[in-house]
């Protein structure tokens, strides 16, 4: 919400070539409690002044020499960084009201001035303008927070991968089609397991590589991976050619993008065979 103090502290520019109109509006706004009111009788200065001061509201006369209010609004649209034209036009011509709104003005005040109408329209316009700015600032803050959080998640993910590789005998990643994109750890060489065998490829190489594994456990493991199911400390056994039994603990989980799209699978394995 916008409080009264914020509205009274808003930056206001009066633009009118008639000194009497400028004086009347300055007195009206000053009596109402507005503290940051400035004015100019030269319409050619408006764009530069707005670039420098970023006014919350511009009270703009439409009929002026050198540049009329429509030309001033056209210039403001080219340099207003936030895309919002904070203009209330001042006009004695009823036919100019619709044209001014189509040109980007947010409201109008009729001449001669009705002082109650002037104060009400200015107050309402400033409330909307300041709410718009707060929303814009919030959006920027939220965008920054999302970027920072994304960077934190990426850093956390990198630490996770590093730690899991160090804490396990092997680590693997698969893409969304099941193809292996990362395999690390000496267990592959030690067991003679080939990457394509891990992915379930058919053929003689698979049979040789998987020799000695408990077939039921292996099939259950591959089924969980294929179903994209997470699992923790799944036990797998393998018998060496000399009859030695080896036990492995395997964990895995699906991976998802920030938009929750499945992008692959990853897992770790560690041998827990008792050492003699």
Which residues fall within 8 angstroms of residue 167, CB to CB, at 6 or more apart? 268, 270
Tens-digit pLDDT profile for residues 15-30: 999 999 999 999 999 9
Query: pLDDT category, 70, cuts 50, 70, 90?
Result: very high
Range in 66-80, 146-160, 176-190 the model is least confident about: 176-190
Q: What is residue 6's predicted lDDT score, i.e. its pLDDT? A: 92
Tokens of 62: 């439409």
57: part of which helix (H) or strand (E)? strand 57-61
Range in 77-81, 116-120, 181-185, 193-197 the model is least confident about: 193-197
Mean pLDDT to the nearest integer, 25-45: 95
Task: For residue 268, give the nearest of 225, 223, 227 by alpha carbon.
Answer: 225
Is residue 83 scored above 90 in pLDDT?
no
Q: What gap in Å lies between CA 35 and CA 103, rounded to an integer?
A: 29
Is residue 160 scored above 60 in pLDDT?
yes
Is residue 72 scored above 90 in pLDDT?
yes
Give the β-pairing of 87-91 and 107-110.
Answer: parallel
Tens-digit pLDDT profile for residues 99-158: 888 888 999 898 888 999 999 999 999 998 898 888 877 778 888 888 877 777 777 666
DSSP state, 24?
H
Give the β-pairing of 36-40 and 11-15.
Answer: parallel
Tens-digit pLDDT profile for residues 251-267: 888 988 877 889 988 88
First to last CA, the chain: 72
User: How many C-beta atoms surround the C-beta of residue 167 within 10 A?
Assistant: 10
pTM (predicted TM-score): 0.54
User: How many C-beta atoms surround the C-beta of residue 181 within 10 A?
Assistant: 10
Query: pLDDT category, 33, cuts 50, 70, 90?
Result: very high
Ramachandran quadrant class, 167 (left: phi over 0; alpha: psi -120 to 50; beta: rest): alpha
Domains of the chain and CATH, by start: 4-136 (3.40.50.2300), 167-271 (3.30.450.20)
Torsion of CA 148, 149, 152, 153, to 10 degrees: -140
| 62 and 89 Cβ atoms separated by less than 8 Å | yes
The side-by-side arrangement of strands in the sheet containing 87-91 is 36-40, 11-15, 57-61, 87-91, 107-110
Q: What is residue 167's predicted lDDT score, i.e. its pLDDT? A: 57
Q: What is the mean pLDDT of the chain?
A: 81
DSSP state, 136?
H
Q: Which alpha helices (DSSP H) does 167-214 contain, by range? A: 187-191, 195-198, 204-209
The side-by-side arrangement of strands in the sheet containing 170-175 is 180-184, 170-175, 262-271, 245-256, 231-239
Query: pLDDT category, 161, cuts 50, 70, 90?
Result: low
| 171 and 161 Cβ atoms separated by less than 8 Å | yes
Is residue 203 scored above 50 in pLDDT?
no
Query: pLDDT category, 191, cuts 50, 70, 90?
Result: very low
Query: pLDDT category, 34, cuts 50, 70, 90?
Result: very high
Mean pLDDT to the nearest integer, 73-90: 82
Mean pLDDT to the nearest integer, 43-59: 93
Q: What is residue 200's predicted lDDT score, i.e. its pLDDT? A: 43
Mean pLDDT to the nearest integer, 234-258: 85
Phi, psi (deg, nearest 5) at residue 264? 150, -165
User: At 114, is the secondary structure helix, strand, or coil?
Assistant: coil
């Amino acid at each position: 919400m916008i409080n009264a103090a914020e509205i009274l502290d808003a930056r206001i520019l009066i633009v009118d070539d008639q000194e009497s109109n400028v004086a009347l509006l300055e007195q009206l706004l000053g009596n109402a409690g507005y503290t940051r009111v400035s004015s100019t009788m030269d319409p050619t200065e408006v764009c530069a002044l707005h670039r420098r001061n970023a006014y919350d509201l511009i009270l703009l006369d439409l009929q002026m020499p050198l540049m009329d209010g429509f030309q001033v609004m056209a210039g403001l649209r080219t340099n207003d960084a936030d895309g919002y034209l904070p203009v209330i036009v001042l006009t004695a011509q009823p036919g100019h009201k619709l044209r001014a709104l189509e040109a980007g003005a947010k409201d109008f005040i009729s001449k001669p001035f009705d002082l109650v109408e002037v104060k009400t329209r200015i107050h309402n316009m400033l409330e909307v303008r300041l709410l718009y700015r707060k929303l814009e600032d919030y959006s920027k803050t939220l965008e920054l927070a999302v970027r920072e959080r994304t960077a934190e998640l990426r850093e956390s993910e990198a630490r996770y991968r590093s730690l899991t590789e160090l804490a396990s005998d092997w680590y693997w990643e698969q893409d969304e089609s099941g193809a292996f994109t990362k395999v690390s750890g000496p267990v592959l060489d030690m067991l003679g397991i080939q990457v394509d065998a891990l992915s379930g490829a058919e053929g003689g190489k698979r049979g040789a590589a998987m020799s000695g594994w408990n077939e039921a456990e292996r099939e259950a493991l591959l089924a969980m991976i294929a179903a994209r199911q997470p699992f923790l400390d799944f036990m797998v056994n393998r018998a060496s050619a000399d009859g030695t039994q080896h036990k492995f603990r395997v964990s895995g989980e699906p991976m998802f993008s920030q938009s929750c799209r499945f992008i692959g699978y990853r897992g770790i394995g560690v041998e827990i065979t008792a050492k003699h």
